[in-house]
């Protein structure tokens, strides 16, 4: 029962579009399936670091790390706003956006994910509730963290694959600026979403 509840709550957290998902969708729509999946690889790599900190750190350590990430978060917000305005400007000027390299797509996903403290904040309070005191703490943490990570990678990859199908429809519209305007708006939305993290 507890494992089923963990899966349901985790799915709810992953499915709700946040900065990670928005960046994955935008990259997939503008630059295609491969670049979208490379962005997923970046967000997933950053998530491993965050899960390790949240799972293995003490409550004090997690709080100290999350406080330090609050200022780093604003670098992520600035980066997303920069991407958004750049895409909007290119669309309005009818200039094609420069396609990212594979490493560029990975780095975009990695840094946007790493500057989002939601995973650490969520797991710092959430994960211990599903750990039974009578069993190995590290073993349970490893299983739960791995399960969350696999679900996140799977769902994020589905977002990338489905979003890449939207690209062909957007590019077929009479207004060639549609893709750039769409992506610029999504990046600005991702920046706004990231800015609200930790404001409660």
The total of structural domains in the chain comes to: 1
pTM more than 0.85? no
Domain contains 130? yes
> Sorting pLDDT into bands at 50, 70 and 90, what band is 200?
very low
Are 163 and 24 in contact, with CB atoms under 8 Å apart? yes
Domain hosting 182: range is 20-196
Domain contains 24? yes
The string of pLDDT tens digits covering residues 105-123 is 999 889 888 877 666 767 7
Other beta carbons within 10 angstroms of residue 138's beta carbon come to: 11
Domain contains 4? no
CA dist 126 and 122 (Å) reads 6
Domain contains 13? no
Domain contains 10? no
């Amino acid at each position: 029962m507890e494992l089923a509840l963990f899966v349901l709550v985790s799915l709810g957290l992953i499915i709700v579009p946040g900065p990670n998902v928005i960046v994955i969708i935008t990259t997939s729509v503008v630059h295609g399936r491969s670049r979208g999946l490379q962005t997923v690889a970046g967000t997933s790599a950053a998530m491993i670091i965050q899960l390790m900190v949240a799972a293995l750190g003490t409550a004090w350590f997690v709080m100290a790390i999350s406080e330090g990430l609050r200022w780093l978060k604003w670098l992520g917000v600035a980066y997303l706003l920069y991407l958004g305005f750049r895409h909007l400007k290119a669309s309005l000027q009818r200039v094609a956006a420069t396609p990212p390299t594979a490493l560029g797509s990975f780095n975009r996903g990695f840094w946007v994910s790493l500057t989002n403290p939601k995973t650490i904040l969520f797991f710092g309070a959430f994960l211990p509730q599903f750990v039974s005191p009578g069993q190995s703490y590290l073993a349970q943490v490893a299983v739960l963290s791995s399960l969350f990570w696999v679900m996140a990678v799977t769902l994020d990859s589905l977002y990338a694959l489905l979003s890449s199908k939207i690209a062909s429809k957007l590019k077929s519209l009479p207004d060639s600026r549609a893709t750039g305007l769409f992506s610029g708006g999504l990046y600005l939305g991702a920046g706004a979403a990231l800015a609200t993290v930790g404001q409660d």
